[in-house]
Amino acid sequence: METVPKTALNLWPRVLEWENLLMAAREASRSKRYHSEVMRFNARLEENLLRIRRLLLAGEWRPGPYREFEVFEPKRRVIHAPCFADCVLHHALVQVIGPYFERRFIAQSFACRASKGTHAASEYLSSMLRSAEDRWDSVYVLKADVTKYFYSIDHDILLRLAACRWAS
């Protein structure tokens, strides 16, 4: 028998709480505090957080422009990074709604999760390969990458699925 997922209530006020916004700014600043955009934001931290909160309450928040740059590790890729204020808002949202999604993820999902990441994924894969080698003579691995996956999915469907998980 399939269970109906619980709906989380009253999340929006928690996103807008001062302590949540302040913690989000600190998290977004981690390892970036000497970047010029981050230093400008943090120099007027309270004013910027109050502005974000005011725009969100008024329904007037609009994402800022993305910065585009290239990285070459391990291969050439074009990165589109959000402005710092958008990063702060992202952290504020994830801090509140993240736990509701976290429990729905499978244990073998490692990207962008607390206490997970590349090293945890590598350790898990090594463990699974050792287990497979003990069981079978030949072991094969498929390494694949779906190019521009996020851009290729239907965002209306994604937003509808997400809307089923919480209500304000």
Question: Measured between alpha carbons, how far is residue 110 from residues 66, 87, 117, 121, 122 in Å?
Answer: 25, 20, 5, 6, 10
Model pLDDT, residue 146: 80
Report the phi/psi class of residue 109: left, alpha or beta, with left for phi > 0 and alpha for psi in -120 to 50: beta
pTM for this entry: 0.75
Residue located via tokens 């209306």:
156
**Mean pLDDT rounded to a whole number for the chain:** 88
Model pLDDT, residue 152: 86
Render each residue's pLDDT in the chain as its tens digit; 168 residues: 445 456 677 899 999 999 999 999 999 999 998 999 999 999 999 999 999 999 999 999 999 999 999 999 888 888 889 999 999 999 999 999 888 888 888 888 888 788 888 899 999 999 999 999 999 988 888 888 788 787 788 988 888 887 776 544
Model pLDDT, residue 167: 47
